[in-house]
Structures are given as structure tokens and as C-alpha cells.
């Protein structure tokens, strides 16, 4: 069975475009996260939309408040001003738990399998699906559909993914040893829906999870994202994705000239037309005016 989940196009006059930047504060911003911020900002502002900032800090072990603070400072210094209040996922645990016990309940199940039990198996073999274990005593998985879900990606083209075959029943909340931590896939699905995100632009590394996110949003009866864009990754000299884990150098926004240089380099990486060196805000105004997502498609080839 195939399900094409893109919602019918609505005239843009009805819905204001809403985009977001959703960093995980496991470190400071690096050049990779900067390109995602610049792209999602210029893209949504070129449609006179709102750009929201959401701090994805459910992983309290790896995320640090000082990194969140620095991310906000860097964005301000770069002239990337967000609309509305910043959302911190660490403050929304109650809400995510309500979804587990309410909207998503029918498809959630508790799982007592240890890492050792599942050694070598990438797709969860559903050992606990029919055990009816108590949700609060174990980690919680969600039953994901075993059919293809299609979505159009404005950079990568049409995508078809079967979430069951690609990912299996994902863990959405960890067990008491991990303090019942909410996992990324649940929090991002609920927040993108509740914040009315119409355009999601993010790194290509997350694209394999998109059909699972669409499925969760559908099950939870949340409004779906209308347009997806997965950006080419910035790679280091060894061909690896820049990440906080491989200690990509944090960006330095401590003076205006450095900010302007960072913006120029990011826009160049994003294949955008040349922007003259100027104050960050003016460079961004020019970049917004010239923004063309289609140019990013060349980067993939």
C-alpha cells in the first residue's frame, strides 16, 4: 500500500509560512549547523514567513545550558533573529508524555529487551509487541507502518520510505535507567505539528527519519509539514559530516567582521549568488532578496 502524504497545496495567502531552526545544544554551533540556520532563515524570510528557534535539549546527559546560551548569542550576533519565544524541549516533558498516554497510546508498547538481547539486529523484531508490559516500567516503542510513505523534498526530489523496513518500531521514550528520557523522533514530531511548521529545512543526515516523523504526526493527528528540504552536509577533510561529536570547531561570532565572513562562507557553501561584505544584517537582507533553493539542487549532483 502506498500513501502519498503531502497535503494538498493551499494558497499561500491562507497559511503564513513557518520555518524553524532546531539545534541540539550538545556543543556550540559549528559551520555545519550555521549553514542550516542561514538556509532555513533566508528561505522562510524570502517568503515573508516566521522563523522559530527550538532548542532540542531532551537529552539532559549530552545537552548543556551553557551551549544553549551560546547558540542564542551566536544567532543574535549573526543577525539571525527568531520570531516568537524560544522553545526548550527539556521543559515540555509533560506534554510529550501526554501524547504517549493519549493520542499515540494505541500504537505505543513497552519493551523490556536489553541491548544484549538485540545484538546485531538493526530492525527491532517486535519481541515485546504483544506482551502488554506496563509503559511506565520500561522503554516505550511506537508501532510504525509497514508501507511506503512518499514526500517531496525540495532539494533531494521525490522520496519513498518504508519506516518499518528502514527503522523498525522506534524507541520514543527510554526507561528509568535513562530517566525516561524522551527521544528526538517523538519530540520533533509533536513540536513541528504544534508549532504549525509548514517548511522544514534541515540536514540530510536526518532524512532517513522523515517518514517515521510523518507517520507519528499522522497518528497523533497533528498538522503535517507541507514542504521538506534536506540540505547537503558540510563534510570535513576526511569526508565525515561535521558534528559536535567529531569536535567541529565552534564558530566565533565575537566581532562583526567575523560574523560577516561566516555569513559569506555559509552563503557560498549554499550556492547562493554573491553577497557583498557588509554588516551582517545587510548581508542577510541581500541574501533573502536573492534566495534561490533550486541552486542547492546543483550541490547534490
Give, as ranges, the residues between 136 and 165 that touch ligand GLU (CB under 6 A). Answer: none
- Rounded Cα–Cα distance for residues 263 and 80 (Å): 10
Per-residue x/- marks for ligand GLU, 194-223, CB under 6 A? --------x---x-----------------
Give, as ranges, the residues between 13 and 72 that touch ligand GLU (CB under 6 A). Answer: 22-24, 56
Among 75, 140, 172, 188, binds ligand GLU (CB under 6 A): 188
CB of 202 to ligand GLU, least distance (A): 3
Q: Which is nearer to ligand GLU, 22 or 140 (CB)?
A: 22
Q: Which is nearer to ligand GLU, 56 or 143 (CB)?
A: 56
Q: Which of 127, 128, 123, 122 is nearest to 146 (CA)?
A: 123
- Residue least distant from ligand GLU (Cβ): 202
Do 267 and 293 touch, CB atoms closer than 8 A? no
CA dihedral angle for residue 289, residue 294, residue 297, residue 299, rounded to 10 degrees: -30
How many DSSP H helices and E strands does the chain contain?
Answer: 9, 11
Q: Residue 141 forms beta bridges with which residues?
A: 109, 171
The set of residues, in sequence order, having a beta carbon less than 8 Å from that of 173 and lying 6+ positions away, is 96, 97, 100, 139, 140, 180, 181, 182, 183, 186
SS3 category, 203: strand
CB of 288 to ligand GLU, least distance (A): 20
Q: Which is nearer to ligand GLU, 40 or 253 (CB)?
A: 40
Query: How many residues at the interface with ligand GLU, by CB under 6 A?
Result: 7
Bridge-based pairing of strands 171-173 and 139-142 is antiparallel
CB of 172 to ligand GLU, least distance (A): 15
- Rounded Cα–Cα distance for residues 213 and 31 (Å): 26
Q: Which is nearer to ligand GLU, 23 or 260 (CB)?
A: 23
CB of 206 to ligand GLU, least distance (A): 5
CB of 230 to ligand GLU, least distance (A): 10
Per CB under 6 A, residues contacting ligand GLU are 22-24, 56, 188, 202, 206
Amino acid at each position: 500500500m502506498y500513501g502519498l502524504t503531502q497535503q494538498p497545496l493551499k494558497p499561500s495567502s491562507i497559511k503564513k509560512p513557518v520555518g524553524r531552526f532546531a539545534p541540539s545544544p550538545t556543543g556550540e554551533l559549528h559551520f555545519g549547523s550555521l549553514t542550516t540556520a542561514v538556509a532555513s532563515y533566508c528561505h522562510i524570510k524570502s517568503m515573508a514567513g516566521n522563523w522559530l528557534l527550538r532548542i532540542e535539549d531532551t537529552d539532559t546527559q549530552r545537552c548543556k545550558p551553557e551551549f544553549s546560551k551560546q547558540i542564542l548569542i551566536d544567532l543574535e550576533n549573526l543577525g539571525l533573529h527568531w520570531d516568537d519565544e524560544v522553545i526548550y524541549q527539556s521543559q515540555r516533558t509533560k506534554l510529550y508524555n501526554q501524547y504517549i498516554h493519549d493520542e499515540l497510546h494505541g500504537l505505543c508498547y513497552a519493551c523490556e529487551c536489553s541491548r544484549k538481547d538485540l545484538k546485531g539486529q538493526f530492525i527491532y523484531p517486535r519481541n515485546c509487541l504483544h506482551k502488554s508490559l506496563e509503559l511506565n516500567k520500561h522503554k516505550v516503542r511506537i508501532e510504525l507502518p509497514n508501507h511506503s510513505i512518499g514526500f517531496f523534498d525540495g532539494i533531494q526530489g521525490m522520496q519513498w520510505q518504508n519506516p518499518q523496513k528502514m527503522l523498525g518500531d522506534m524507541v520514543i521514550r527510554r526507561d528509568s535507567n535513562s530517566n525516561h528520557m524522551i527521544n528526538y523522533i517523538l519530540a520533533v514530531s509533536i513540536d513541528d505539528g504544534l508549532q504549525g511548521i509548514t517548511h522544514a529545512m534541515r540536514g540530510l543526515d536526518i532524512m532517513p527519519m522523515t517518514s517515521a516523523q510523518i507517520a507519528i504526526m499522522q497518528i497523533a493527528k497533528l498538522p503535517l509539514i507541507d514542504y521538506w528540504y534536506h540540505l547537503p552536509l558540510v563534510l570535513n577533510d576526511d569526508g565525515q559530516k561535521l558534528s559536535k561529536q567529531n569536535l567541529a570547531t565552534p564558530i566565533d561570532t565575537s566581532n562583526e567582521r567575523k560574523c560577516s565572513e561566516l555569513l559569506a562562507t555559509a552563503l557560498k557553501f549554499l550556492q547562493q549568488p554573491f553577497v557583498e561584505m557588509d554588516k551582517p544584517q545587510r548581508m542577510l537582507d541581500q541574501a533573502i532578496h536573492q534566495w534561490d533553493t533550486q541552486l542547492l539542487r546543483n550541490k547534490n549532483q
